[in-house]
C-alpha cells in the first residue's frame, strides 16, 4: 500500500498492522502521513473542480455547466482547497517533522491527534455529498456571504456542518502543536533557538485556535437564520447583512496567514540548507512572523472596502494593511540575505523555495496595490483578486509544500525521490502557473468580475490562455504523484544526511526516521534556527 | 482598449498598455477613465504599479545575482554571516517610508470618493436577483433594467453580439457635467454596482442605503457588471450608463415623464384573457424565467415547475398569495408584490394559468390583486 511506504520501518514492533495501524494511529509519523495523503487527494479533487471552472471559461457562452452548478464548483473548489488540502497538508507536515526537529518523542496528545485527523474524511464527505442533494452544493462562494447563503438549499446545511467538523479538527490539531512545542522540546532547545518551522507552526496554531471558533460562530448564525427564525443578517428583523462579513473576515484574514506562515517556516529551513549558510536575521524573522500574526487580526475589513464603510474606517484598515508589508518585506530580504554569499545548489526543494520567494513577492506586491482602498474600488471582486490570492496560495502555500515534501522525503521514507522528475515538476509548475494566473491580473484590471460563468467578448483571449495554463498545470501535478509513487518503491536508498547543509535535529536521526524517535530526550547544544552544534544521548525505539 | 487613453499618460504605462496582446484587442490595464474619480484611481494604480514593479525588479536582480554568482557549482564558498543590525533597520525603515509616500495620495483619493455632497441629481439604485432598478428621485419616475442579450446567444445557438452580456433594455441615463449622487440598496441579497470607467464600485445591501457619486465628462455609453456574487444569474445583470449632454438629458427626461403618465395602468380596467396573457408573457420573461425557465419546468431540486403545478392549477387565491407575498418555504421565491404593479402581477398569474400544459381558462384582474393586497394589509 502506498501509504505504508511513507512510514515503513519494519524492524520495530508494538504497533498495529494493516488497517488498524491507520484507523487507530497514534504515532505522529503515521498520522502525519495520513494527513499528507489525504491533503494530496483533496488537492486533486479541488483541482478537478478548478479544471471544470476553467473548461467552462475557455469560451464565452455556456458550454458545460449551467450557472447554478458553476457557482457550486467555485464554492467547493475554494472550500476544499483551503480546508481539505492546504490546512491539512501543513498540519500533516507539522505532525511529521515537529517532534523530530525539537527532539520530542511524539506529539503531546497522541489520541487526540488520531481524532483530529479522522474528523477530516467525514467532513469532506459531507461537502462532496452536497453535490447530489436537492438544490446541489453551497453556491455562495467559499465566503458563504449572507443573505445569499440563507437562500440556498440543504447543500448549505451540509456545508455548515462540514465547517463545524473541520473547525473542531483544526483546533485540536493546533492545540496539539502548541502543547508539543511548549512542553516537549529536548533540553537545550530554547524557544529562541527553535527552527523557524517550529516558530511558524506555533504562531499558526495560535491563530487557528483564535479564529476557527469565529468562523463556527458565523456559519452557526447563518444556520439559525436559515432554520430557527433568527435575523442576524436580515435587516427586516433588525439584523445586518454586513455583520456576516465582519465576523467572517475576522476569521478570514488570519486564515490567510494560517496558510502562509507555515510556508514561511518551510522556506526558512530549506534556503539555509541549500545555501549552506545559517538563516540571516533569525531573531527578526521570529519577530516579523509574530507581528504578522498580531497584525492579521487588525486588517479584516480591507476585504470590505466597497461595502460602504465610513472614510475613517477605510483609512484605518488601509493603513493597517499596508503596514503588514513591512514585516513581510523583512522576511523576503532575510531570505535573500541568506542566499547572498552562500554556496548554493539547486535541488528540487531549493527550486521550489526560490520559486516561492519570487512569486509570493508578486502576490505580496499586488496585495499592497489592493490595500489602497481607492484603487481597490476598481479591483475588488474582479479577477485581479483571483490572481492575487492564487499567487499567495498556489505559488506561496502549495510551492512551499512541494518544497517541504521533496526536502523531507528522504528522512520520511529512507528513499531518494527522482531529482530529474522533481526538477521537471518544478519548471513545469512554474511555467504553467504563470500562464494560468498572470493573465488574470489583466482580466481584473480590464473589468472582468470574478465568479461569473460567462463573460463579455473582450475577455476571451486571456481566459483561453488561463484555461490552457490551468490544464497543463494540473497535468504537471501527476509528475509529482508519479515521482512519489515510483520513488517509494524504486528510489535510491537515502543517506542519513542527504543534504550537505542539513544541520537541524531531524538530520541527526537515522534514515528513514525510526518509528519511535527520541523516546529518550537528547541533550542538545543548539544554535539559532535549530542548528544542532552538539548532541548527546537520545535513544529511539 | 486602454490605448485610447494613452495621450497624457506616463511612458511606463504606455509601455505596459501596448503589447502584442493589445494589438489583438485584449485590454491589459484599467479601462479609460471617464470621471475624475476614475482618473484618480487610474493614476494611483499606475503609481503603485511603478513602485511595486520597481521593488520586484530590485528583489529579482539581487536574487538572480546571488543565484548566478554564489553557487556551489561556481566554486563559491559560503560566508557564514547571519546578522547585521544596521542593514535590518534600514530595510525596515525604507519600506515604511515608501508606504508613507503611498499613503498620502491614497488618503486624499479615499476622501474624494467619499465626498457625496453637493449633488445636482439623485438616483436610487436597487439590486434585484438579477436586474437593476433605477429611480430618479428628483423627478419621481423609475424603471427596471434587464439584460438584453438573447438566451440563444448565451447558449451558442445564435451569434454573439458585440456587447455580449454588457447590453440592457433600459440604460441608466445621466447628464454630463452634473454631480450625480447614487443611493444604493438591494431587494434580496447583496449586489455590487460596478462601472469601471466611472470609477465606481459600491455594494447594494438589502435593508440599508449606501451612497456614491460620479460626474461624467463626456457623452458616451459606459458598461459594467454586478461584482458581488448574488446567486445563479450573477453574471447576467449588466449595467449600462448612457451619459448625454444636459440638453439631451432634459429632452429624454421629459419624454420619459410623458410616457410614464401615458402608460400608467388604469387599475380599474377590466382586461381580456388574450391581452393579459400577452402582457403576462413579457412580465414572465423579465422576472420569472431565470428560475422557473421558459418552458415552465423549473430546475428540479432547486426551483419548482409551474407547468402542471398544483398551486398554478389550483385555487386562484393561493396562486395570488405566493406571487404577491413570496414563499415561506423557499426564500428564493420573492414577494413580487414589492416590485411589480397590480396589473403586472395579474398578467403574469393569468399567463401562468394558461401556458404550457396549464389550461385553467381562468384570468385574474388587477382589481383582484388590489383586493388581495388590501386583505393582507388589514
Averages of pLDDT over each 10 residues, chain B, 378 residues: 41 44 68 94 95 95 96 91 91 93 94 90 95 93 93 92 94 96 95 96 96 94 96 95 96 89 76 87 87 87 87 89 86 84 90 90 88 78
A414 touches chain B (CB under 8 A): no
The model carries a pTM of 0.88
Give the span between the Cα atoms of A314 and A296, in whole angstroms: 16
DSSP helix/strand/coil, B313: helix
Cell numbers for B258, please give them: 410623458
A288: closest chain B residue by CA: B92
Q: Which is nearest to A338 in space by CA: B62, B57, B53, B73?
A: B62
Superfamily for A2-537?
Cytochrome c oxidase-like, subunit I domain (1.20.210.10)
CA distance A132 to chain B (A): 10
Nearest residue, CB atoms, B82 vs list A62, A279, A445: A279
Mean pLDDT of A497-521: 93
Number of alpha carbons in the 13 Å side-chain half-sphere of residue B225: 27
B163 touches chain A (CB under 8 A): yes
- The owner of cell 544554535 is A527
B201·A381 Cβ contact <8 A: yes
Mean residue pLDDT of chain A comes to 94
B184: closest chain A residue by CA: A308
Q: What digits encode the pLDDT tens for the residues B193-245?
A: 999 999 999 999 999 999 999 999 999 999 999 999 999 999 999 999 999 99
| Complex confidence, ipTM | 0.90
Contacts with A112 (C-beta within 8 Å, 6 or more apart), sequence order: A172, A175, A176
B157 touches chain A (CB under 8 A): no
CA B70 to chain centre: 53
Contacts with A443 (C-beta within 8 Å, 6 or more apart), sequence order: A382, A383, A384, A387, A459, A462, A463, A466
B304 touches chain A (CB under 8 A): no
Identify the pLDDT of residue A523. Answer: 93
A311·B194 Cβ contact <8 A: no
DSSP helix/strand/coil, A156: helix
State the best of B228, B237, B328, B332 to mutate against chain A, taking most chain A CBs within 10 Å: B228
A277 touches chain B (CB under 8 A): yes
Give the span between the Cα atoms of B221 and A341, in whole angstroms: 58
Mean pLDDT of A204-217: 97
Query: With the C-alpha atoms ordered B166, B171, B177, B183, is the resulting torsion angle positive or negative?
Result: negative
A355 touches chain B (CB under 8 A): no
Identify the pLDDT of residue B25. Answer: 61
A67: closest chain B residue by CA: B232
Scan residues 42-61 of A and list those with Cβ closer than 8 Å to B: 60-61
For A174-243, the DSSP string reads HHHHHHHHHH-PPTT--GGGS-HHHHHHHHHHHHHHHHHHHHHHHHHHHHHHHHS---TT-GGGT--HHH
CA B206 to chain centre: 15
B211: closest chain A residue by CA: A308
A287 touches chain B (CB under 8 A): no
Nearest residue, CB atoms, B110 vs list A242, A314, A446: A314
Nearest residue, CB atoms, B56 vs list A362, A459, A461: A362
Contacts with B247 (C-beta within 8 Å, 6 or more apart), sequence order: none
Q: Which domains does chain B have, with CATH numbers?
A: 2-114 (1.10.287.90), 121-149+163-263 (2.60.40.420), 273-377 (1.10.760.10)
Question: Would you say B135 and B126 are in contact if contact means Cβ atoms under 8 Å apart?
Answer: yes
Cell numbers for B79, please give them: 560566508
Q: Which is nearest to B338 in space by CA: B223, B209, B171, B188?
A: B188
pLDDT above 80 (res A532): yes
Query: With the C-alpha atoms ordered A18, A19, A22, A25, is the resulting torsion angle positive or negative?
Result: negative
B71·A462 Cβ contact <8 A: no
A315·B110 Cβ contact <8 A: yes
Identify the pLDDT of residue A14. Answer: 64
Scan residues 294-313 of A and list those with Cβ closer than 8 Å to B: 306-308, 310-311
Residues of A marked active site are found at: 77, 106, 142, 169-170, 253, 255, 257, 268, 302-303, 328, 331, 450
Scan residues 249-268 of A and list those with Cβ closer than 8 Å to B: none
Nearest residue, CB atoms, B76 vs list A343, A346, A453: A343
A344·B72 Cβ contact <8 A: yes
pLDDT-based confidence at residue A13 (cuts at 50, 70, 90): low
B79: closest chain A residue by CA: A341
Q: Tally C-beta pairs within 8 A across A and B.
A: 314
Give the span between the Cα atoms of A416 and A30, in whole angstroms: 19
Give the span between the Cα atoms of B333 and B303, in whole angstroms: 9
Element holding B56 (H helix, E strand):
helix B36-69
Contacts of A365 in chain B (CB under 8 A): 52-53, 55-56
Scan residues 79-118 of B and list those with Cβ closer than 8 Å to A: 79-84, 87-88, 91-92, 95-96, 99, 102-103, 106-107, 109-114
Mean pLDDT of A329-342: 95
Contacts of A280 in chain B (CB under 8 A): 81-84
Strand B191-195 relative to strand B220-226, pairing: antiparallel
Q: What digits encode the pLDDT tens for the residues B281-290?
A: 888 988 888 8
Identify the pLDDT of residue A451. Answer: 96
B162·A457 Cβ contact <8 A: yes
Cell numbers for A498, please give them: 542527504
Identify the pLDDT of residue B361. Answer: 86
Nearest residue, CB atoms, B233 vs list A67, A277, A340: A67
A343 touches chain B (CB under 8 A): yes
Which residue intervals of A380-459 are DSSP H helices? Answer: 383-392, 399-413, 419-446
B234·A314 Cβ contact <8 A: no
Nearest residue, CB atoms, A325 vs list B95, B164, B210: B95
pLDDT above 90 (res A392): yes
A354·B233 Cβ contact <8 A: no
B16: closest chain A residue by CA: A442
Scan residues 144-183 of A and list those with Cβ closer than 8 Å to B: 145, 147-148, 150-151, 153
A213 touches chain B (CB under 8 A): no
B20 touches chain A (CB under 8 A): no
Q: What digits encode the pLDDT tens for the residues A176-192?
A: 999 999 999 999 999 99
Number of alpha carbons in the 13 Å side-chain half-sphere of residue A408: 30
Contacts with A62 (C-beta within 8 Å, 6 or more apart), sequence order: A56, A453, A454, B154, B155, B156
Identify the pLDDT of residue A531. Answer: 94
Contacts of B206 in chain A (CB under 8 A): 147, 235, 241
CA distance A177 to chain B (A): 28
Mean pLDDT of A35-57: 97
A78 touches chain B (CB under 8 A): no
Identify the pLDDT of residue A139. Answer: 94
Nearest residue, CB atoms, B192 vs list A319, A361, A381: A381
Mean pLDDT of A237-245: 95
Amino acid at each position: 500500500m502506498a501509504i505504508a511506504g511513507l512510514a515503513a520501518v519494519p524492524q520495530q514492533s508494538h504497533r498495529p498492522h494493516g488497517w488498524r495501524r491507520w484507523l487507530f494511529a497514534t504515532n505522529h509519523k503515521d498520522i502525519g502521513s495520513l494527513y499528507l495523503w489525504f491533503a494530496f487527494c483533496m488537492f486533486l479533487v479541488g483541482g478537478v473542480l478548478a479544471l471544470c471552472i476553467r473548461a467552462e471559461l475557455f469560451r464565452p457562452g455556456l458550454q458545460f455547466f449551467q450557472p447554478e452548478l458553476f457557482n457550486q464548483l467555485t464554492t467547493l473548489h475554494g472550500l476544499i482547497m483551503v480546508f481539505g488540502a492546504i490546512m491539512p497538508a501543513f498540519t500533516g507536515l507539522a505532525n511529521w517533522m515537529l517532534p523530530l526537529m525539537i527532539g520530542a518523542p511524539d506529539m503531546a496528545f497522541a489520541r487526540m491527534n488520531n481524532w483530529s485527523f479522522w474528523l477530516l474524511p467525514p467532513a469532506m464527505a459531507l461537502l462532496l455529498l452536497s453535490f447530489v442533494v436537492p438544490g446541489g452544493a453551497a453556491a455562495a462562494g467559499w465566503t458563504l456571504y449572507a443573505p445569499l447563503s440563507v437562500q440556498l438549499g440543504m447543500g448549505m446545511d451540509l456545508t455548515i456542518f462540514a465547517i463545524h467538523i473541520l473547525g473542531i479538527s483544526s483546533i485540536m490539531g493546533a492545540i496539539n502543536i502548541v502543547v508539543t512545542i511548549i512542553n516537549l522540546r529536548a533540553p537545550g532547545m530554547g524557544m529562541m533557538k527553535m527552527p523557524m518551522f517550529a516558530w511558524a507552526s506555533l504562531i499558526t496554531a495560535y491563530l487557528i485556535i483564535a479564529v476557527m471558533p469565529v468562523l463556527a460562530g458565523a456559519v452557526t448564525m447563518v444556520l439559525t437564520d436559515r432554520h430557527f427564525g433568527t435575523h442576524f443578517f436580515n435587516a427586516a428583523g433588525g439584523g445586518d447583512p454586513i455583520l456576516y462579513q465582519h465576523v467572517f473576515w475576522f476569521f478570514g484574514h488570519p486564515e490567510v496567514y494560517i496558510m502562509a506562515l507555515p510556508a514561511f517556516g518551510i522556506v526558512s529551513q530549506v534556503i539555509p540548507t541549500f545555501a549552506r549558510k545559517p538563516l540571516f536575521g533569525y531573531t527578526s524573522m521570529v519577530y516579523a512572523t509574530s507581528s504578522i500574526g498580531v497584525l492579521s487580526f487588525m486588517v479584516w475589513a480591507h476585504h470590505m472596502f466597497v461595502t460602504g464603510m465610513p472614510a475613517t474606517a477605510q483609512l484605518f484598515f488601509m493603513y493597517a494593511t499596508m503596514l503588514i508589508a513591512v514585516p513581510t518585506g523583512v522576511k523576503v530580504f532575510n531570505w535573500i540575505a541568506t542566499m547572498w554569499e552562500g554556496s548554493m545548489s539547486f535541488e528540487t526543494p531549493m527550486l521550489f523555495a526560490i520559486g516561492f520567494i519570487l512569486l509570493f513577492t508578486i502576490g505580496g506586491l499586488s496585495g499592497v496595490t489592493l490595500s489602497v482602498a481607492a484603487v481597490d474600488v476598481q479591483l475588488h471582486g474582479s479577477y485581479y483578486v483571483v490572481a492575487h490570492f492564487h499567487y499567495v496560495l498556489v505559488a506561496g502555500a502549495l510551492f512551499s509544500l512541494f518544497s517541504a515534501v521533496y526536502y523531507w522525503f528522504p528522512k520520511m521514507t529512507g528513499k531518494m525521490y527522482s531529482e530529474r522528475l522533481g526538477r521537471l515538476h518544478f519548471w513545469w509548475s512554474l511555467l504553467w502557473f504563470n500562464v494560468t494566473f498572470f493573465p488574470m491580473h489583466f482580466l481584473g484590471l480590464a473589468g472582468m468580475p470574478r465568479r461569473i460563468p460567462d463573460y463579455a467578448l473582450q475577455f476571451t483571449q486571456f481566459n483561453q490562455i488561463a484555461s490552457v495554463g490551468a490544464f497543463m498545470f494540473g497535468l504537471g501535478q501527476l509528475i509529482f504523484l508519479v515521482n512519489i509513487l515510483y520513488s517509494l518503491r524504486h528510489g535510491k536508498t537515502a543517506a542519513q544526511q542527504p543534504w550537505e547543509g542539513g544541520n537541524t535535529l531531524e538530520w541527526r536521526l537515522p534514515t528513514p526516521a525510526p518509528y519511535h524517535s527520541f523516546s529518550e530526550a537528547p541533550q542538545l547544544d543548539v544554535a539559532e534556527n535549530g542548528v544542532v552544534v552538539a548532541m548527546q544521548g537520545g535513544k529511539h525505539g | 482598449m486602454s490605448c485610447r487613453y494613452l495621450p497624457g499618460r506616463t511612458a511606463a504605462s504606455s509601455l505596459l498598455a501596448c503589447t502584442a496582446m493589445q494589438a489583438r484587442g485584449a485590454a491589459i490595464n484599467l479601462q479609460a477613465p471617464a470621471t475624475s474619480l476614475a482618473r484618480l484611481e487610474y493614476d494611483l494604480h499606475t503609481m503603485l504599479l511603478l513602485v511595486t514593479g520597481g521593488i520586484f525588479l530590485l528583489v529579482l536582480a539581487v536574487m538572480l545575482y546571488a543565484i548566478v554568482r554564489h553557487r556551489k557549482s561556481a566554486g563559491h564558498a559560503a560566508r557564514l554571516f547571519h546578522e547585521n543590525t544596521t542593514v535590518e533597520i534600514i530595510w525596515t525603515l525604507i519600506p515604511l517610508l515608501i508606504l508613507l509616500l503611498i499613503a498620502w495620495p491614497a488618503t486624499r483619493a479615499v476622501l474624494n470618493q467619499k465626498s457625496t455632497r453637493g449633488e445636482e441629481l439623485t438616483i436610487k439604485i436597487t439590486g434585484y436577483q438579477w436586474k437593476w432598478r433605477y429611480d430618479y428621485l428628483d423627478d419621481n419616475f423609475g424603471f427596471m433594467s434587464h439584460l438584453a442579450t438573447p438566451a440563444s446567444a448565451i447558449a451558442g445557438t445564435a451569434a454573439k453580439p458585440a456587447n455580449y452580456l454588457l447590453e440592457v433594455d433600459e440604460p441608466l441615463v445621466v447628464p454630463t457635467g452634473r454631480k450625480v449622487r447614487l443611493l444604493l440598496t438591494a431587494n434580496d441579497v447583496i449586489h455590487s454596482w460596478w462601472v469601471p470607467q466611472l470609477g465606481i464600485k459600491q455594494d447594494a445591501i438589502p435593508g440599508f442605503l449606501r451612497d456614491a457619486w460620479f460626474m461624467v465628462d463626456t457623452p458616451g455609453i459606459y458598461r459594467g457588471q454586478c461584482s458581488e456574487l448574488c446567486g445563479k444569474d450573477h453574471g447576467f445583470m449588466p449595467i449600462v450608463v448612457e451619459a448625454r449632454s444636459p440638453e439631451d438629458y432634459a429632452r429624454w427626461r421629459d419624454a420619459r415623464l410623458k410616457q410614464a403618465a401615458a402608460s400608467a395602468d388604469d387599475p380599474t380596467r377590466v382586461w381580456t384573457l388574450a391581452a393579459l396573457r400577452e402582457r403576462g408573457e413579457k412580465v414572465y420573461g423579465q422576472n420569472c424565467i431565470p428560475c422557473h425557465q421558459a418552458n415552465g419546468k423549473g430546475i428540479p431540486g432547486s426551483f419548482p415547475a409551474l407547468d402542471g403545478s398544483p398551486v398554478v392549477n389550483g385555487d386562484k387565491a393561493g396562486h395570488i398569495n405566493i406571487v404577491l407575498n413570496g414563499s415561506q418555504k423557499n426564500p428564493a421565491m420573492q414577494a413580487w408584490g414589492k416590485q411589480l404593479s397590480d396589473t403586472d402581477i395579474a398578467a403574469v398569474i393569468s399567463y401562468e394559468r394558461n401556458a404550457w400544459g396549464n389550461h385553467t381558462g381562468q384570468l385574474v384582474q388587477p382589481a383582484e390583486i388590489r383586493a388581495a393586497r388590501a386583505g393582507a394589509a388589514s
